[in-house]
Amino acid sequence: MKLLTYDPGNGPRCGVLQDDRVVDVSGLLATPRSLPDVRALLDLGDSALDRVRNALAQRTATPSLPLEGLRLRSPILQPPTVRDFMIFEEHATAQGTREREEAWYRMPIFYFSSPLRIFGPDETIPYPSASEMLDYELEIGCVIGRDGSNVSEEDALSYIAGFLIFNDWSCRDLQRDESAVGLGPAKGKDSASTLGPWLVTTDEMAPYLREGRLHVKCSAKINGDFWVQDSDGGLAYHTWGSMVERASKDSRIAPGDVLGCGTVGGGSIGEAIRKGYEKARFLQPGDVVEMEVEGLGLLRSTIGPKENEDPNYRYQPKQQPPLPERGIARDYKYQPKPR
């Protein structure tokens, strides 16, 4: 199933996509109150997705709306938490131009991102006023479907409700200052995350799941030009199960939590510059960013103008990081290391 959050004009509602039409899940399940997003559906309990499947199979006259022209929101309007990992070695090593700490190979590493700046499909992303180096990051996210603690890797897939595209917008100049102190990334990742266009349930993605990895092709276009094309999601060094295990160890995961896999190989602007894409540069207002992942759909965003810009703002980056040397990784091809 493809579960989504849509707004017909009177507020967000949870829907399910069927034959290019959106069926309202509240009406489908006859819930006493409307469900404002997919998280609200997951909060109904472990059998929520099965209830939707069964109701669809028996559906007779539940109203639906055409998908075309319908405003979609992020499937999860406000996740309880957003944990973003970094499990692709090509990105972690900047296409082989830097060494990674041994801990990166030993365990899946993550940071917490803000659940308060979540954007959905076709939304305008305000350009962060304190930054000059806005980057996209092409990622896949999973959404947790049930509560758990100390979940094993072997059981992890049963805790994942489904997968979606995750654009982890990054202010590289802010991130550089924070990382130098050892507490980043934080403010460099604080302005926006985009999720969507819908949540594809784990059973529907099963044909792409092998050895705990999603073997899907991932691409990104900026203003209609590819800056990364057919990056392989199956080249993740760590598995989805290992991320769930690490996130839940001595802690808790809950319905609606989002786990990002980190940037797929080649899926950021620095990597596009290293690969020699002539038009690759940091984003500017008016740019249109389109991310497409096999099985998950297409997620489009437009960069808006800076809001509340203050040239005298006191927490500006000290300096702009140098750009990667263009074309330095033109012939680079990722070779997975033994795990």
| Structure confidence by residue, pLDDT tens digits, 93-142 | 999 999 999 999 999 999 999 999 999 999 999 999 999 999 999 999 99
Handedness of CA 256, 241, 244, 170 (dihedral sign): negative
Q: Are 239 and 152 in contact (CB under 8 A)?
A: no
Question: Mean pLDDT over all residues of the chain?
Answer: 96
- Cα–Cα distance measured from residue 285 to residue 277, given in angstroms and rounded to the nearest whole number: 20
Q: Which two tokens stand for residue 256?
A: 């609606």
Predicted pLDDT at 30: 93
Output the pLDDT for position 168.
98
Could you give the angle at the alpha carbon of 88 between the alpha carbons of 87 and 90, nearest 5°? Answer: 150
Answer whether 0.85 is exceeded by the pTM: yes
Give per-residue pLDDT as tens, 191-237. Answer: 999 999 999 999 999 999 999 999 999 999 999 999 999 999 999 99
Q: How big is the chain, counted in residues?
A: 339
pLDDT value for 163: 99
Residue 301 burial (CB < 10 Å; 0-12/13-18/19+)? Answer: buried
Which residue type, as a one-letter code, is found at position 199? L
The residue-averaged pLDDT of 81-93 equals 98
* pLDDT tens digits for range 137-183: 999 999 999 999 999 999 999 999 999 999 999 999 999 999 889 88
In sequence order, what are the beta bridge partners of 143? Answer: 162, 258
How is residue 226 written in tokens? Answer: 């590819």
Q: Which domains does the chain have, with CATH numbers?
A: 2-73 (no CATH), 82-306 (3.90.850.10)
